[in-house]
Amino acid sequence: MPYKLLFVCLGNICRSPSAENIMNHLIAQQGLGDRILCDSAGTSSYHVGSPPDRRMTAAASMRGIALKGQARQFSKADFAAFDLILAMDRENYSNILALAPSDRDRHKVRLMCDFCTRFTLQEVPDPYYGGPEGFNIVIDLLLDACEGLLAFVLQEQEASL
């Protein structure tokens, strides 16, 4: 059974779809598409149905990563559907935990930056209201976090064999 990851930010047009698509890129590079599945969502409904932000898409494409998907809102059903839920910042982390039906569900929620190995930031900053440099920083930060996350998931999968 594949390991399922859900990346969550506020609007699901910048940070979480970037994390989802970066992770899918790393998974494809290693031929692990049958072992790990990714999705993303937002804690708000502001952008439901929208594609990823064009500025985020431009920053990702400079690194050879295509951003695909449509924004959707996080729901309680996501706790049952995913093995690990990754919040981009503490506010989204708190909002996700507030919806958790049980302790088991709460234990599925982690901060994305917990998996960074090079960056020391504790949260993925929201680049929405800033300039292009913010989008580039987010992509680099998420590449770091996704590499660490992939190593973690592979360890989890081996431990459960």
Q: Treating both helix axes as pointing N-terminal to C-terminal, what angle do 132-159 and 54-61 enclose, rounded to 10 degrees? A: 70
Identify the residue whose tokens are 């809102």. Answer: 73
53, 78, 89, 126: the catalytic one is: 126
The reply to whether 9 belongs to the active site is yes
CB atoms within 10 A of CB 137: 17
Structure tokens, 96: 């996700």
9, 14, 38, 116: the catalytic one is: 9
Task: Give the max Cα distance, the chain.
Answer: 46
15, 38, 72, 144: the catalytic one is: 15
The reply to whether 126 belongs to the active site is yes
Residue type, 12: N
Euclidean distance between CA atoms 120 and 97, whole angstroms: 24
Question: Any idea what DSSP says for residue 68?
Answer: -
The reply to whether 144 belongs to the active site is no
Cβ 85 vs Cβ 115: under 8 Å: no
Euclidean distance between CA atoms 102 and 79, whole angstroms: 9
Q: Which residues are catalytic?
A: 9, 15, 126
